[in-house]
Structure 1
């Protein structure tokens, strides 16, 4: 570019670009919308101990919601990628992470049809995770959501988006919906055993922690799965200040049908009313600030015979560690007199 008297010459292209920018800046923005909200998507994250029955609960819940006329998206966020197996009759759903890697190597872009599948009105997909020993599951979750955003996640018109998360892993990736306000509310799935309630309590603690930092996510309630009537999970929910959304009984018919990948949350069937009530409660339950319990409070839900909490800890001695008594040696620490 030539210069005259130290002043740079403006090219014709720059003149046109500046004119376009001025014209764009002169356009008045659209007025803010003042009419009623026509579509509100509830994004709900479901947490629970591995093997507690989250996938079973979510497959039947999402199916019932779809039969009630709701548009539902179920996203599996567990590295095991088994959230949608019950929904699809035991068939494995291609994961977003695996598909994304394969498409990238082939120089192709991921499309909705590559990762999202449907059954009777329920849309479902699996984020997936890295191979064993080859990466962090939490990082896989973050990568999966980044891919979803590229696919237009925030523009999809669903009534409900249900996220199935592993609850017994304390990791930034698995805590993403709570930490970044990516969902409106959380539901915990537990049972009448200490370990599942310990996980549920950890989730409540995470929610309360981020609420204190200005977050907005709350706990909508608990689903008690394999309920044998002993009452520990219901007592935990009461103490934590969250409602019980449904209690799914420990029933042989439910266990057998679930094991054979059968949906029991169908209208008109034996268990329909249970999942109809759960669907209503999930939709209407407001996000609440939970009251996380201490370790002693959790143990107090169970009898001493179950937890062994009447055991008294005995301090170890140096003799226990080395097998002989040692004379206490004076310290070489220098202590200065106060001036």
Structure 2
């Protein structure tokens, strides 16, 4: 039996991959923009640089004159720390709890902070092992909706998610 006569499954796979890669992509959309606010969400395993990347991206977009909101959607609440000199913003969850105990309503100035042109906030969540992080995300977005989040007219909203958690609460903001 000749060696050439034996089918090499790797060669077949390589051929298929090359053929797929040679297909031209669709042309980019050139029509009018149908959505004013661009939402960018990054999900991923912890420690891969999501917060670092989004903090820098938000800063650069603000430097270009864009109105940017950076939202940390990780119970660790570390998204905003790069912008604020190593200290994260107080979280929406903590602030809402403290305001509720005091009989006060949450206002946007209680939970949204600005530095170098970037508006930033942390949703927060329960302490590790003390509750559902996804539920914290849902609760945080419910508060934002009550505060009129959809009417703030940002050019970009950047969302930083802990993506190695399997929970519906972490998918809510994308929906």
Shorter-chain TM range is 0.7 to 0.9
Q: CA deviation at 1:38?
A: 9.8
Q: How many residues align?
A: 144
1:22 paired residue number = none
1:224 paired residue number = none
The gaps in structure 1 that reach 5 residues or longer are: 1-35, 181-339
Distance in 2 between residues matched to 1:175 and 1:92, nearest whole Å: 23
1:119 paired residue number = 115
2:87 paired residue number = 91
Distance in 2 between residues matched to 1:157 and 1:70, nearest whole Å: 11
Deviations 1:171-213, CA, capped at 9 Å, x for gaps: 10112234x2xxxxxxxxxxxxxxxxxxxxxxxxxxxxxxxxx
Please state if 1:160 is matched with 2:166.
Answer: no
**1:109 aligned to which of 89, 105, 110:** 105
For normalisation by structure 1, the TM-score amounts to 0.41
* Corresponding residue SS for 1:123: strand
Distance in 1 between residues matched to 2:63 and 2:128, nearest whole Å: 37
Distance in 1 between residues matched to 2:81 and 2:55, nearest whole Å: 9
Greater Rg, structure 1 or structure 2?
Answer: 1
Higher relative contact order (CA 8 A, sep 6+): 2
**For residues 3-82 of structure 1, what are the structure 2 equivalents within 5 Å?**
40-82=36-78
* Corresponding residue SS for 2:170: coil
Q: CA deviation at 1:54?
A: 0.5
* Corresponding residue SS for 2:134: helix
The answer to whether the 8 Å contact 1:39/1:157 transfers is no
Q: CA deviation at 1:165?
A: 0.4
Instruction: Tell me the C-alpha RMSD between the 2 structures.
Output: 1.6
The gaps in structure 2 that reach 5 residues or longer are: 1-31
**For residues 292-311 of structure 1, what are the structure 2 equivalents within 5 Å?**
none
Q: CA deviation at 1:132?
A: 2.8
* Corresponding residue SS for 2:62: helix
